[in-house]
Chain A
Amino acid sequence: MKNINTDIAITYLIVSKKFTLVAVLGVLLGMSLYIFMNSMLVGFDRVSNDSIFKNSPHIRIFKDGAISQPLQQSDQIKDIIINPKIVPATNNIENPYEIIQLIKNETFVTNVSPQITTTLFYNIGLLQVTGTVTGIIPNQANEMFDIQTNVVEGQIEDLTDNVNAIAIGKGIAQNFSLGIGDNINITSSKGVNKSMKVVAIFKTNNSKLDDTKSYVNLNTAQQLLMESNTYITDINVNIKDPEIATEKGKILSNITGYQSESWLEANESLMAAFTMRRLVIKIISFILLIVAGFGIYNILNMTVSQKINDIAILKAIGFKGKDVVMIFLTQALSIGAMGIIGGIVLDIALIALLQKVYIGGDIGYFPVGFEAGKFIQGIVIGGIIIFFAGYIPAKKAANVDPISIFRK
């Protein structure tokens, strides 16, 4: 048997169709914008992180320079070094392959790759252009940074086992008018001069990188620095959850005895900007939901005022306070449910549509996806707001004193 409270609530909703519709539209728009903006935020964060992770690993392990210390550490005698300096020791990691194995043994680690970064000159005639060269193990680095997706010509894998191969940025290629198979002469910071064959040209979202950066085989980098094949300056580590890179970095630092730096620390100002973006979008979307709640509150308040005679008579003929609350709460929740369902449908359409919109650059298609979590979050938060937006006027209706109405 249909509940009489529900019956009355539905009749009220149908009688004031226009108001119901306006309230439903309010919830619909608020809800769909809330879910859409939050889903978009997830997409934006993903794109931003992806572009960061193309250049920096989750954690970088390296040797930090140390301030010179007295040779003898003693409590009795205080040796003082006047004008202490960073010890001019090498910045390479001792026993790198053993350390890499040590890091690989940690369960949270997904990917480890050694790397050497040094400065060099690209020579063309008398002209010298400064730049940086990164020595990598191509397949490992490709797995970590997905370098191949930025390559516009050639193959990054061609660096493997080829000490004379180099992958250069698009900017260098243009400035020197180089193509695949052409030669480029480089001079390392240690004065080693080498003629290299271009096997790949890459283009990133950062033109400064494209103008200066190049990749070579790890062994080539060691040769350029006149070092042995155990010379490694950085160990790049990727982990399962990049959000906790700082904490995991400290653990790795303790295990290896070398300094660690997470991508969060390395990109601090960028992270601050992301946090701000997140905050602004979350606040705005939340306010939109609240506004939708006000819509319901308003319309219900109006219904209560309009139907005050009905409320009085219902209370006289035996409807309890909670029955009256149910009548008006049912209206609010029905409006809310219709709005939420409509909002979700609109979102699905909007996201499906925008996913097909090409933005360009390294973003490609509009970065928004179906984020189930954000949909649920929207429904839960929206539901709570709608409940209170309905409950407050409903409670007011329940407190109507029928005598004061009848005696008017």
Chain B
Amino acid sequence: MNILEVQHISKYYYNPVPFQVLEDITFTVNKGQLLSLIGKSGSGKSTLLYILSTMDTDYTGKLWIDDELITGQSNDELAKLRNEKIGFVFQFHYLLQEFSCIKNVMIPALKLGKYSVEEIEYKALAKLEMLGIKDQALKPANRLSGGQQQRVAIARALINDPHIIMCDEPTGNLDTKNTALVFDIFRQLTSELGQTIITVTHDESFAKNSDRIIEVVDGQLLL
């Protein structure tokens, strides 16, 4: 079953000189897949990820997520869609430093407003427990180690039970031990919870162990 479909996506950068960064990209992603986007620096893989994440709307072609045409929706609609259906994990964890870990995890759910605060708190604790950092829940985010922060960020990405989790080099900043840990978590999410993960990575062993590898070379897919 398709969770994400890309048809003929192209993108240009005009500054400082016109430059085609993505050329006629077409592919589909199945539900429950752990997909690695690899490629050299400047190949366009991050650009592709940001288009898939709906944050970049400046492209030609069409994008479907969960059988819904994304291309052409307004920024507010896209924001709502990201809140509901997409989770994000970045290379530099990007937690809100002033908030406690559990609050960071809760924010997307509070924004969604589907459950009561108590329910959200319970769910957030469950996610943190799953990631093995329940004991850190009440600490401010900036007191945690890098690996711990990345796990909080993953918990945040999971809180609304999204269809897809998009990651931009989630292990880029982590040591081997933590990388293995994050990979295990991702495996568990795809196989046990049926969530789809699309991740940009430079880590070869990480990519090798994923379900599918898409390599981007000079703005084109190397299948």
Which A residues fall within an 8 A CB radius of B? 1-2, 4, 7-8, 11-12, 15, 309-310, 312-323, 402-403, 406-407
A320 touches B50 (CB 8 A): no
Give chain B nearest CB distance to A309 CB in angstroms. 6
Given contacts A314-B107, A318-B108, A323-B79, 7 further A-B contacts (CB under 8 A): A7-B110, A8-B96, A8-B107, A318-B82, A403-B50, A406-B94, A406-B168
CB closest chain-B residue, reference A16 = B98
* A317-B111 contact given A312-B94, A403-B55, A406-B90, CB 8 Å threshold: yes
CB pairs A–B below 8 angstroms (24 shown): A1-B113, A2-B117, A8-B107, A12-B98, A15-B98, A310-B96, A313-B95, A313-B96, A315-B55, A316-B53, A316-B82, A317-B82, A317-B111, A318-B79, A318-B111, A319-B111, A320-B76, A320-B79, A321-B79, A323-B79, A323-B111, A402-B55, A403-B56, A406-B168
Residue-wise, chain B 83-119 has the 8 Å CB interface mask toward A (1 for contact) of: 1100110100011111100000001101111001100
A317 CA to B116 CA in the complex, in Å?
19
Q: CA A7 – CA B103 in complex, angstroms?
A: 10
Instruction: Determine the distance from Cα of A314 to Cα of B50 in the docked complex, in whole angstroms.
Output: 15
B94 and A11 contacting across the interface, CB-CB below 8 Å: no
Partner of A318 from B80, B90, B95 at Cβ < 8 Å: B80
Of the candidates B46, B75, B110, B116, the one whose C-beta lies within 8 Å of that of A320 is: B75
In the complex, the answer to whether B94 meets A313 with C-beta atoms within 8 Å is yes
- How many angstroms from the CA of A312 to the CA of B82 in the assembled complex? 13
Residues of chain B at the chain A interface (Cβ within 8 Å):
46, 50, 53, 55-56, 75-76, 79-84, 87-88, 90, 94-99, 107-108, 110-113, 116-117, 156, 168
Please, which residues of chain A bring their CB within 8 A of the CB of B84? 318
* Chain B, residue nearest A7 (CB): B110
A7 to B99, CA, bound (A): 10
Determine the chain A residues whose CB is within 8 A of the CB of B46 once the complex forms: 407
A321: chain B residues at CB < 8 Å are 75-76, 79
- Identify the interface centre among A312, A402, A403: most chain B CB within 10 Å of its CB: A403
The residues of B that contact A309 with a CB separation of less than 8 Å are: 94
> Are the C-beta atoms of A4 and B56 separated by less than 8 Å?
no
Q: How far is the CA of A315 from the CA of B95 in the complex (A)?
A: 13
CA gap between A321 and B79 in the complex, in Å: 9
Contact between chains at A318 and B98 (CB < 8 Å) = no
Residues of B within 8 A of A12 (CB): 98
Most buried by B among A15, A313, A314, A315: A313
